[in-house]
Each structure stands twice: as C-alpha cells, then as structure tokens.
Structure 1
Amino acid sequence: MYRNSMPALLLAAGLPLFPSLCMAATDEVTGPQVVSALEGAFGVTPGERRNHTKGTCAAGEFVGLSAGAAYSRSALFSGVPVPVIARFSLAGGNPEAPDTAKSPRGMALEFALGDGRLQHMTMLNTPVFGAAQPKTFLDLMVAMQPDPATGKPDPEKLKAFRASHPDSLAQAKFLEENNPPPSFANSSYFGIHTFRFINQDNRTTPVRWRFVPQDGEKRLAAEELAALPADFLQQRLIERMQQGPVRWDMVLTIGAPGDPEDNSTVAWPENREQVKIGTLTLSAAMPQKGAACEKINFDPLVMSDGIAPSDDPVLHFRSQAYAASFAKRLGGL
C-alpha cells in the first residue's frame, strides 16, 4: 500500500476534505472524485479518514462571551458552558505521517448545544487555505499520484501544478516560512473561510474566526525539527493536559466592505476590528482509537442558528466530500 510522505510545499492544500452542495463552479468536481484522488495519492487505511488520517482526541468545554452575542444569536454565546469534543490532526492520508512534516495541523470541534443541536468548526493552523476552488485541490491530489516506476510523485507534474494554480501558493509560502509547533497546544487555528453571524435583530455580519492559544504561539527551531522523532504531538498534548487545562481564546475578525468572502486563499487586512468572543478549555486528551472524536464526521456546514456559511465554493464543497469519506468509513472500506 503506497504511503505518500508529501513534501512540505505540497501539503499546502491539506484541509480535511471538501465538496459542494450548490454552486455551478463546483459542478465539474464531485466528492467521490476527490476521495478517490486522495486514495490514489496516499493509499487507503480501511475504516479511517481519507484525509487528516492521523489524529488525537480531546474533550472540554467552551464558554462564549456577550461580545459574541452582539454579532450572533447562536447558543454558543449564551455564557453557559458548552461541552466540546475535539480532534487534532495532521493533513494528508498517511496515518504514519511524521509530526515533523511542514504541513498543516488541524483542530476540529463539535459543540453540543443541547436538544441534539450541534455546531461544528474545522480549522487549520494556517491563516489561508491552498485552493480557491475545489478543482485546485483535486488537481493537486492527481498530480501527487505516485509514478509506478518510482513509487513517488512525478516532480514535473508537481511543478506544472504549482505553475498553473497560483491560488495554491500563499498557503504553501506560509508553510515553507513557518516551522510547525512543538505542541498542538502552541498553535492558533483558523476557520479559514468567511462565515455570516446573525444576531437577534437579524443583522448579518461577515466574519472570520481563529482560536489563539493561551499557552502562547511557538514554533520549532530548525535544530529541534531535525532531532525530533516521527511521533511526539499526541504524547505532548496528553502530558500537557495532565498538568492542567489548555485554553484558546476565540477571536472574531469583522469583515469590511470589499473584503473577499468567497476566497479562503486571500487574507483580510490585519487592521480589521477583532473581538474576543469566548474561551475554549480542553481538559483531557487521548488516542483517537475508540475515543469520542473517532467516529464524528466534522462537517463544517453543521451550524447552529445564528451562524451561516458564506458563498465560498470550497466551504460548500467540503460537506459533500466529508460525506463520501464518512460513508466509506462506516462501511469499513
């Protein structure tokens, strides 16, 4: 079974999965197509996710602030603690991906709002994504198919992909210039897409969010990166939470007229208004096998009243691809 270790630059588009429910721009790409391409690039581990396969579970709670309620009527911002199941992960379909890889880290959250209501958030530790359209991600996976003669991706195909898909370059540049964190607890995680917050007065505000670690943002030095073993992130997170809870502040960035709402490869200007709207507290971490996060399909379009998607085609596309991957997992494939 082929396992693609994928060079740092090429993991740039490594968000979980993602296909579409609407939008003509995504008609040419389907969820099953993307899942098949991921399988071709990384191989298949039966019963496991096709992307962000390597992961760790965690649990805790979220407490929203009244500052969030000013923008959204979601129960997230009631001020009442909301139970959370979390999953941390590495991009790509290799369950043995090295934790030293200069690839995206993910944090997925499921908030239990009561009465069976849920809110999902699936995030990356890069401020932008590596594809403005689903086809860019599909084309990357196709370019990464191993050459039968070498068992590795064809460098010329990867070079051609980069030259023909400029929307993949901003995230790749960020990954190249920023070493990975020494712990999942020392990274910010970005919602990547634009969302719409709707308050009690039905006022809609375009927003982007991120979770900022209270333990501080840290990056491995080059020497540390070279000396670390392939697996350290899970154990470090478990040990850190044994010392006490780990917290992230949820920070909202308020969009202004002209800010792109349908392109997650373009960052908003840094001078936009930013508001702290809650705190995520995780108190326990554990291996994902048999734990609560393992079977969850963290579909980013599972949203509570007061939070709605933008028209970002990649955001909508993800839901279909997640479903295709989830169906295979349920079938033990």
Structure 2
Amino acid sequence: MQDPRNPRPPSGLAWRWAVIGLAVVGTAAAFGYAGGWLTPDRLGPKKIVDLLQANGGGAHPGYRRNHAKGICVGGRFEASGQLAPFSSAKLFGQGVSTPVVGRLAIPGGNPQAPDSSAPIRSFALRFDLPDGEQWRTGMNAMPVFPVSTPQAFYELNVATAPDPATGKPNPDKAKAFFGSHPETGAFLGWVKGAKPPASYVDETYLSLNAFYLRDANGQRHAVRWQVVPETPSTGDGGPAAGDTDYLAADLKKRLAAGPVKWHLQFVFANDGDPVDDAAKAWPADRKTVDAGTVTIDSWQDQADGPCRDVNYDPAILPKGMEISGDPIIVARSAAYAESYLRRTSEEGHLPGTKAVKEEQR
C-alpha cells in the first residue's frame, strides 16, 4: 500500500560511520547560542546549514540538508491513558486516537546515498490533535547525542569536513577534536560496534533531548521518550549484495502484510539526572511509562508524499509539554526553519509542488 576521557576515535569503517553519524539529529548540526543567532560573533542557522550542505557534497535542490533520503508514512497514535496523570496534553487521554504523519530516513544530505552508508536510522512524527494543536518530534536510533553544546557540534563538523585534496575527513583533525571533547566517549563507544540495520521497523528511536511534561496541577516532569518496536529484530543482515535501497523495499513489503507498531514510552528523570545534556544517558532503571501505541499502516514516496513539506521542528509542542534548557533544541528549531525555506523554494522540479506549504510556527 502506497501509502569515557580522551576517548580514542573509532577506526576503520566504524570511524567513517561516526563521521557520518555525527550529522544525525534532525538537521543535526543545527546549533548555536539560544538568543544569539543573529549576532555576528555567534552561530546562526544559515552558517550551520551552509556547513551541513557543504559537508554533504553541496545542495540537492528540493531535499532536506540532512536526512535527505527517506519515505513518508502514515497512521495513528492510540493513547493508553497511562501518561495522562503527568501531562495535560489531550492526545494522552485514555482511548484518544490521534493521526500521525511520519518520515523514516537515514542521515546525510544525499538523497541517493546507499542505505548502508550509516548505521543510524531516524523517525520523525507529527501528531495532529483535533483542536489544531500539534506535536512534532524527530527521533534517532542511537543512545546519546555526540556532544553537549551547539558550539562543540559546529567545531566537530568543521573537524570532520572532507579535505579538498582527498575528499575524506582529515583523521588528525578528527582525532584532535575527539581528544579535546571527552563527552563524545559515550557516542563513540556505541558507534564502534554499530551496524546498519536491515529494516526501519525493528529499531528503537529516541528523542535524545529531554523535555518537560506539565500535569493538570502545574507540576513539571523531566522526560525523554522513545518508540520501541513490537516487531522482533531481524538482525543486521538481509539485503542482497549491491542493494542500496533495501530499507524502503522492506518497509513496503511489511506494510503489505499489515500495520507495524511501536510503543511510545516516556522515561522520567530522577533528581540529579542531566536534563540539559543529550550526550549523557540516564540510568536504565529510570521510571518508564507506556503512553500508547504508534501504528503505521501506509507509505508514500517522499517526492509527493505528505511528509515532504513538514518541518519536524522539535519545539512545536502541545499544551502539557515544554522544551527543557537544552540549547540544542532551540538551535535545531532555528536551523530546521532555514533548511525548510531553502528546500521548499527549490521544489519546482518535484511532483506535487502546487500543494500549499505549511505555516512556519
């Protein structure tokens, strides 16, 4: 239906994957100082998106500057009611069904990149509440973000930019960066052993950034969320040799057999857990609440699908949800808008361009 300190940098293929993966969260290099985006001595969305675009081999008109290769999906979120005591957001009420417009993708700016080019997959969702409110989220199948601050991520992208002489990142520059940023240890430790999954549907996707829920009494609860698949993992193998587009093919095959489902889980912080630092994982024993089930039952090619012109801005939240002090959230939001404006102004060659673009809000 179409519808660790001084961490050692990873070596070999894993190191190459690390470089690719470090441009992963949404428009992942979308960093800067909150409140200072337009001042000349600070980072801004244009500067960040320019760097992403250059590191990705230049602009591919009409496509996202990161996560350019993807597929639109649709379905619904059915709330269990278990999260309702912690958030006044209407979509979490027991039995409430909310339509979703989603997008599954791989990192990078090349829409023709092979699916095996990175071990990370992403899942973005827009929840459309009946009263016009929306919740938008971009999640990634990795445990932590590589660095803690916007400036560090910008510097990392500079350090891992392709050398004009070789077309590849300069390993000495990358090594120097990782050596001076011990917070990258958790991400590097993971990516060394990461392999490209053979399917989108058996991955767990995480928000990485923390947010707040606000309950009916006004109390805040710091959380991160994740969507956990009902589908058993098929392992890391599967695609035929030379197959560069196996993820979309696998998704279409599975949806032809029936819907695929994930459980939307909220993980609650304890006192002292880092709320404003996505490079630090929370302990595995933290309280987790199953908010309900995300069911995907349709797909559509992104060229003219409903996800194409959606800006999955993580700062768009319904009443009952709020951003935390993590500076990456605000920076992502600003750079998402920059990337959105670029690609939607370039879409004349794509099908369906008569569709009205969504309001930037």
- Give the aligned partner of residue 34 of structure 2: 22
Q: Which amino acid aligns with 2:225?
A: W
What do residues 31-67 of structure 1 show as CA deviations (whole Å, max 9, x unaligned)? Answer: 1111010111012101211011111110000011211
1:44 to 56, 59, 62: 59
What do residues 118-150 of structure 1 show as CA deviations (whole Å, max 9, x unaligned)? Answer: 110110001211121112221222223322222
Give 1:97 deviation, angstroms: 2.0
- Give the aligned partner of residue 303 of structure 2: 289
Contact 1:63 1:279 in 2 (8 A): yes
Give 1:29 deviation, angstroms: 1.8
Q: Which amino acid aligns with 2:77?
A: F
2:339 to 321, 325, 331: 325
Question: How does 1:188-203 map onto structure 2 within 5 Å?
Answer: 188-203=204-219
SS at match of 2:155: helix
Q: TM-score, normalised by structure 2?
A: 0.85
SS at match of 2:54: helix
- Is 2:12 the partner of 1:8? no
Question: Which segments of 5 or more consecutive residues in structure 2 lack a partner in the other structure?
Answer: 1-14, 348-361
Question: How does 1:213-292 map onto structure 2 within 5 Å?
Answer: 213-221=229-237, 227=241, 229-292=243-306
178-187 or 135-144: bigger deviation: 135-144
Question: How does 1:68-87 map onto structure 2 within 5 Å?
Answer: 68-78=83-93, 79-87=95-103
Structure 2 distance, partners of 1:330, 1:168, is: 34
Structure 1 distance, partners of 2:154, 2:32, is: 13
2:328 to 297, 307, 314: 314
Structure 1 distance, partners of 2:234, 2:185, is: 23
Q: CA RMSD in A?
A: 2.1
Give 1:25 deviation, angstroms: 11
Q: Percent identity?
A: 34
SS at match of 1:122: strand
Give 1:20 deviation, angstroms: 5.3
What do residues 175-220 of structure 1 show as CA deviations (whole Å, max 9, x unaligned)? Answer: 2223232210010000111110011111111111100000024430
- Give the aligned partner of residue 3 of structure 1: none
165-174 or 310-319: bigger deviation: 165-174
Contact 1:178 1:219 in 2 (8 A): no
- Is 2:210 the partner of 1:184? no
What do residues 218-253 of structure 1 show as CA deviations (whole Å, max 9, x unaligned)? Answer: 4305xx579462210011111111110000001111
Structure 2 distance, partners of 1:68, 1:20, is: 33
Q: TM-score, normalised by structure 1?
A: 0.92
Q: Which amino acid aligns with 2:201?
A: A
Structure 2 distance, partners of 1:149, 1:25, is: 32
Contact 1:23 1:313 in 2 (8 A): no
Give 1:115 deviation, angstroms: 3.0
Structure 2 distance, partners of 1:205, 1:122, is: 20
Structure 1 distance, partners of 2:67, 2:147, is: 17
Question: Which segments of 5 or more consecutive residues in structure 1 lack a partner in the other structure?
Answer: 1-5
- Is 2:170 the partner of 1:160? no
Q: Which amino acid aligns with 2:169?
A: P
Structure 2 distance, partners of 1:46, 1:263, is: 33
Q: Which amino acid aligns with 2:34?
A: C
SS at match of 1:7: helix
Structure 2 distance, partners of 1:210, 1:329, is: 28
Structure 2 distance, partners of 1:266, 1:161, is: 18
Contact 1:12 1:171 in 2 (8 A): no
Contact 1:26 1:135 in 2 (8 A): no
Structure 1 distance, partners of 2:164, 2:280, is: 36
Give 1:19 deviation, angstroms: 3.6
- Is 2:179 the partner of 1:170? no
Structure 2 distance, partners of 1:298, 1:324, is: 12
- Give the aligned partner of residue 110 of structure 1: 126
Q: Evaluate the alpha carbon distance shift between residue 171 and residue 25 of structure 1 in structure 2; reply closer, same or farther with a 3 A threshold.
A: farther
SS at match of 2:284: coil
